[in-house]
Amino acid sequence: MREIRTLNAGWRFAPGFDKAHIAASMAGTPVTLPHNAADLPLNYFDEGDFQRPFTYQRQIAWEPAWQGRIVRLRFDAAMADATAWVNGVRVARHRDGYTPFTVDLTGCFDGGSTLVTVRIDGSENPEIPPFGGRIDYLTYAGIYRDVWLEVLPERHIAAVKIETPEVLADGKTVLARIEVTQPGPVEAVLSDASGRQIAHATGQGEICLAGLEGITLWSPDTPALYTLTLSLPDSGDRLSQRFGFRDARFTPEGFFLNGARVILRGLNRHQSFPYSGYAQGRRSQQRDAEILRFDLACNIARTSHYPQSPWFLDRCDEIGLMVFEEIPGWQHIGGPGWQDESVLNVERMIRRDWNHPSIVIWGVRINESPDAEDFYRRTNALARDLDPTRPTGGVRCIPDSQLLEDVYTMNDFILGDFETPFSNRPRTALRDQQEVTGLPARVPYLVTEYNGHMFPTKAGDPEHRQHEHVLRHLEVLDAAHDPAAGLAGCIGWCMFDYNTHKDFGAGDRICHHGVMTIFREPKFAAHAYASQRDPGDGIVMEPVTVWARGERNIGGVLPLIVLTNCDEVELSHARVTRRVSPDRERFPHLPHPPVIIDHRHFSAEELGDWGESWHSGLLRGYRDGELVAERHFPAGAVFDRLVLAADVTEAAADPSDEIRVIVRALDQAGNRLHFLNEPVFLDLAGPARLIGPACPVLQGGSTGCWLRPTGETGTIRLDARLRDKTASVLVTLR
């Protein structure tokens, strides 16, 4: 039997690297993985703090049960250049910060234990992708994902690739391509999510299970997962792998999932977090997938610009969030050695993730890079050889780019180009694909970025800027939903704000490009996505306003965008009430266009002029004539209460399972006070530590933090104070 367990505890850490520690124990600081080598403040920091070497070290004691077996460590990822020594002997080097590598410990337990030393170099080495040019994100140093101890028999299953050919046929088929360290029979058992056995077979190399009945296809609405369990009767090795039955095709007419047209609607995701960088564990990764799928009503995410956590991808599988996964890189292509490493990245990515049903396309081109025919012929050929079941894409931002991939994937930032000097193009949401490709006919085409740097928007920006931010997302979403456009869909830039280099961002080391804040708190634009959900999955009614006459240029709140999936929205102001339908004239293709209330619905006299008294507003949302939502906006909003919201109220005491807590300042009607930007004082008690400062400052009326359990059971209590208001949240650790 194989044994796999986490080895995140018991490590020691030290800044810098001393060759004397290769074979000798160092004092260091006790740490638990995932670990960020250099925590940073929220903004105005020096990114050079982590662009240097660091050392991790751990003693591993021998266990008699390991006799005659292979013993190794698997590092899920370490940034960026990792070298490992065992008892002073160099055994591994991994020059990729995003994919796994192993350290073999077999035969190294002389004296009953072994010493593992890992040097992590966080420098931006120009020989390693994505480095060599400038990149608009940070690559935080450290062993930032899980480490696993693997104990295996000599004859064991090294890998399995599961394919489901002809998935739309009545009888389904599973084809398992199995890699075993030594030849011999393999037993395969197929079971559903309940554990019910569906089929079994025995074979070598390839095993085919055919004629399967009663199979549920994987989709966003029905993310059905199945498990293939492989066993080696002679050695006792066993490996279980989840997968799904689905057919995903990109065509010139659009994207088809299981034979039905689906408009892809999503956002790009970086894997970073404030303060802790990349070093967030299972719950944080899973929660980001849940936010995308459920809070933002997306059906696809792009892992910009590198392979991301297995926890994130596993959760995408479970909840039906499709994924565009790509190799590391940002605009720059290095020399021959750099390109060789990038080709290896293609193999590492695909071999790690080829069984995830959520992944529908491989990104095998460096993001926004120029054409490089020889290089990209290599990446495409390798991807197709490793996994002919999925198409390749290559994200570019230049028109008339050479198409070597199966799907033309394009970052289209044309919306906003009308603001550039000497532009003669009117306001345009998306270009016609043939204008971009320069090809004589339509091809499979996916928009992979839009907005972002064209209109960065902070959570506390003035209402008129928030209004425009929302419109730009709505316009692209509408254009992408046009059935005549022949688009697979669109993936916006981006899910949330993120820390970046000095060369980018707002001067504060933050790119405010997200539809959410860096703490995953929604800006108004987030509701442009959330409002596209089916009303049966939840009602959305979010007006883009702080309801103050003096906030906008000239005054007033019109035009008022209400992001909603309601049939009608009713606005009451003073003694005047109007009911307005969604604006299908301006947004004819959106599943749920916004309601836009303007001077067509209210006269100047009814709303009152500048200088006159201001009145409260009441919004009511209706579906099928029934009241389903109501929002009240006081004429004189005041700070009424402080609210703490944790992602969970019960959790495992695992230090890798961080808990996010959002702090919100609300008015007397429960609306967030977007311009309340004061410090909040936090006090934590119980078996956890606070990630971030104990006195954060509200941004756009909210802020956030993460709580990292110490490994002990008990109750965490977080108290918050703002002015004379207090709030608390409790989380039970078990």
Q: State the Cα torsion 456-459-462-463 to the nearest 10°.
A: 100
Q: Is 542 marked active-site?
A: no
Cα gap 11→33, rounded to integer Å: 8
User: How, if at all, do strands 392-396 and 359-363 pair?
Assistant: parallel
> How is residue 197 written in tokens?
């056995």
Spatial CA neighbour of 659 closest among 622, 618, 687 = 687
Amino acid at position 445, single letter: Y
Cα gap 96→79, rounded to integer Å: 7
Residues 6+ positions from 244 with CB-CB distance below 8 Å? 164, 217, 218, 223, 224, 225, 226, 317, 357
Q: E strands, 247-287, where?
A: 248-251, 254-257, 260-261, 264-268
Three-state SS letters, 111-180: HHEEEEEEEEECCCCCCCCCCCCCCCCCCCCECCCCEEEEEECCCCEEEEEEECCCCCCCCEEEEEEEEE
Spatial CA neighbour of 104 closest among 142, 54, 154, 144 = 154
Residues 6+ positions from 578 with CB-CB distance below 8 Å? 570, 571, 597, 601, 602
Cα gap 25→7, rounded to integer Å: 18
Cα gap 688→678, rounded to integer Å: 25
Burial of 290 (0-12, 13-18, 19+ CB in 10 A): middle
Q: Is 449 marked active-site?
A: yes
Amino acid at position 672, single letter: R
Ramachandran area for residue 416 (φ above 0: left; ψ -120 to 50: alpha; else beta): left
Q: E strands, 546-648, where?
A: 560-564, 568-573, 576-580, 595-597, 617-623, 626-633, 641-646
**Which of 47, 449, 521, 658 is an active site residue?**
449
Cα gap 680→694, rounded to integer Å: 8
**Which of 47, 163, 326, 368 is an active site residue?**
368
Question: Which runs of consecutive H residues, i.e. helices, occur in 387-518?
Answer: 433-437, 463-480
Cα gap 67→407, rounded to integer Å: 50
Residues 6+ positions from 284 with CB-CB distance below 8 Å? 273, 658, 660, 706
Spatial CA neighbour of 487 closest among 262, 721, 231, 684 = 262
Amino acid at position 678, single letter: E
Q: Which sequence positions are flagged as catalytic?
A: 368, 449
